[in-house]
Amino acid sequence: MSRNFVAIDFETANYGNDSACSVGVVRVRDGQIAQQEMRMIRPPSNWFIFTHIHGIAWKDVAQAQTFGEVWPELAPLFEGADFIAAHNAGFDRRILLACCDRYQLEPPTQPFLCSMQLARSVWNLHPTKLSDVCQHLNIELNHHEALSDALACARILIAGESGFAEGPPLMPPPKALTRKLSAKVAKKTKPEQLPLLKNSLQ
């Protein structure tokens, strides 16, 4: 399995996929945690219903940057990464792509890997909530704090890297957004690059 990847975790204000209110990003290079960043995010709406989970309320982010302002600071961490990891990756993948779509930003094109699925495959764990996996591996966790969750995800992958000798199963971007994103990116792409772009989004 590649030892160069990015682990990401979002916390959201409400049920909206574009309602990210914090994000943690961890860059792993050569199997070592090389960089870590956390940002509070002002979502499009002041409707918060998940404060009881992550402790973040509108007053905490009312003066924070929007995702559109935060992303240019974080995007360089994804350069050169082979994939993006998250625990319950389907969730974080949706949030990332919806937030990029809202602010008309080009999202990273790397596939996603789910550390929850990895834990089931490598250690045969059930249940595989992040807290369960961290307890099994003795990984420190402040659950639902975005950077702590992203760090835990990165450490799970590092611990389980030998479990996939030929590479782990990767998740491509959702098809529903692929067509929209392809059109946006294609406008900025040279004709000779279009075959490569199509393959990267499948």
The pLDDT tens digits along the chain (202 residues) read 678 999 999 999 999 999 999 999 999 999 999 999 999 999 999 999 999 999 999 999 999 999 999 999 999 999 999 999 999 999 999 999 999 999 999 999 999 999 999 999 999 999 999 999 999 999 999 999 999 999 999 999 999 986 654 555 677 655 544 445 444 444 444 444 433 333 333 3
Share of the chain above pLDDT 70, in %: 80
The CATH T-level fold of domain 5-171 is Nucleotidyltransferase; domain 5 (3.30.420)
What is the value of pTM for the model shown? 0.83
Total length of the chain: 202
Strand partners, 36: 26
Sort 50 into a burial class: Cβ within 10 Å, 0-12 / 13-18 / 19+.
middle
Q: How many CB atoms are located within 10 Å of the residue 115 CB?
A: 26
Dist CA 79 CA 81 (whole Å): 6
Q: Report the C-alpha gap between 73 and 61 in whole angstroms.
A: 17
Model pLDDT, residue 116: 96
Other Cβ atoms closer than 10 A to 94? 18
Tell me the average pLDDT of the chain.
Answer: 87
Angle made by CA atoms 164, 114, 199, in degrees to the nearest 5 = 85
- DSSP-derived 3-state class of residue 44: coil
Query: Where are the domains positioned within the chain?
Result: 5-171, 173-202
